[in-house]
Amino acid sequence: MAFLKLAGTVTKRMGMKSACYMYPVVAREFTKTTRGHVELDSADCIYCGLCQRKCPTKAIEVNRQEKNWTIQPLRCIVCSGCVDVCPKKCLRMENTYSSSVTSKF
Question: Which residues contribute to the site for ligand SF4 (CB under 6 A)?
Answer: 38, 40, 45-51, 54-57, 59-60, 62, 69, 71, 76-82, 86-88, 90-91
Q: Judged by CB, which is closer to ligand SF4: 34, or 49?
A: 49
Q: Judged by CB, which is closer to ligand SF4: 8, or 36?
A: 36
Judge contact between 83 and 37, C-beta under 8 A.
Answer: no
For the CB of residue 85, give the shortest distance to ligand SF4 in the complex, in Å: 6
For the CB of residue 98, give the shortest distance to ligand SF4 in the complex, in Å: 11
Which residue type is seen at 101?
A: V
For the CB of residue 45, give the shortest distance to ligand SF4 in the complex, in Å: 3
Kindly report the backbone phi and psi dihedral angles of residue 61, in degrees, each rounded to the nearest multiple of 5, phi listed first. Answer: -130, 125
**Burial code of 50-74, b = ≥16 C-beta within 10 A, e = fewer?**
bbbeebeeebbebeeeeeebebeee
Q: Judged by CB, which is closer to ligand SF4: 24, or 87?
A: 87
Q: Judged by CB, which is closer to ligand SF4: 6, or 84?
A: 84
Kindly report the backbone phi and psi dihedral angles of residue 47, in degrees, each rounded to the nearest multiple of 5, phi listed first. Answer: 55, 45
How open is the CA angle 27-101-71, to the nearest 5 degrees?
A: 110
